[in-house]
Structure 1
């Protein structure tokens, strides 16, 4: 169990909590439900949750791309939707773009949409949303995630003002626990707020659902550079400290 999870668990018995968590992961958990080990033998993997509306376009694209990019670090990446089309796969356009941009075809084809529920949020070290509205939804559900939930393009905007060495130093100052290191790096990202002009109108990734191929490409072109920054900060936090 990730640090802080017991402290933030809703008013449920341990049995009810386990049952709710299991329901959130199954039957539509896909490859993200496979057990994984985080670096340095941590009991539970560092977990990233990506969130959009239907969980069939933007968030699964972010999920499968980040999973592949961070696979060598043992990071668990999964996704959910605020109004998910439960059980539906990724749209063909989103699946095609994800595979073209580096995701594993097996991961993309195995995706099945699921609702965003509290247990998924509670176990997440980082929540990446596709819009500011999605981020507000997350924080309303679990206020403790205020400093660990970001619209993906806002994350990228903030992280761009933080060097890799600064992120690494912040993370490793937190000690050997990988969850603590990630959260320290996220605090460093959050601390960048106010240090550069912010255009919040550019923090959202456009929703391509039921729209043209050109809009799907626009959505991907907004999303992928932001994922570069997510990967950079996570790597700075999790890779072994250099001598």
Structure 2
């Protein structure tokens, strides 16, 4: 399953989701899975904050070579599922790209409570990045469970 995670600047939430999804898929032997990420207001010069890198290093993800990229039709067409991290991202994507609405699902739908945005940890403490990472991991578990159950 090809998943596109979308946030604002493509430096925090969607990046963590991309790298965690790819690692979790690999750990489960799901080599056909691939995640990419993009932002609705991304610029190629945006850098991934140290808090993201440290949060991912705690999950043995140490090679974080990422360039922020803007979401667009080509990436959205590539994906089997598009997962915006917040309601504002969902609204933007479904307004700008209505042809992809059916495969766009808000990340919060995969979390335990099924509600709320994945809050942006940008420029906050490492503890906030870790909390964000943990919530993303829980949602990714649900996405992977669905994928495995659909293919068994």
TM-score bracket relative to the smaller structure: 0.7 to 0.9
Q: Which residue of 1 aligns with 2:144?
A: 231
Larger proportion of helix: 1
> Which residue of structure 2 aligns with residue 165 of structure 1?
none
Q: Residue 116 of structure 1 corresponds to which residue in structure 2?
A: 71
Tell me by how many angstroms 1:225 deviates.
1.0
> Which residue of 1 is the match for residue 120 of structure 2?
207
CA distance in 1, matches of 2:124, 2:111: 25
Ranges in structure 1 where 5+ consecutive residues have no aligned partner: 1-45, 158-198
Conserved in 2, the CA contact under 8 Å of 1:122 and 1:142? no
Asked whether the 8 Å contact 2:38–2:70 carries over to 1, the reply is yes
1:76-126 deviation digits (Å, cap 9, x = unpaired): 210000111324342111111123134x322xx211111111111112110
Partner of 1:154: 109
The 4+ residue runs of structure 1 with deviation greater than 6 A are none
What corresponds to 1:84 in structure 2? Answer: 42
Q: Give the TM-score taking structure 1 as reference length.
A: 0.56
How is 1:1-243 mapped onto 2 (pairs within 5 angstroms)? 46-71=1-26, 72-73=29-30, 74-102=32-60, 104-106=61-63, 109-157=64-112, 202-238=115-151, 241=152
Residue 3 of structure 1 is matched in structure 2 by none
- Maintained 8 Å contact 1:151/1:203: no
> 1:145: Cα distance to partner?
2.3
Report the CA distance shift for 1:209/1:118 in structure 2 as closer, same or farther (over 3 A). Answer: same
Equivalenced residue count is 149
Higher-Rg structure is 1
Q: Offset at 1:215?
A: 2.0
Specify which structure has the bigger relative contact order, considering alpha-carbon pairs within 8 angstroms and separated by 6 or more residues.
2
Supply the RMSD in Å over aligned alpha carbons: 1.9
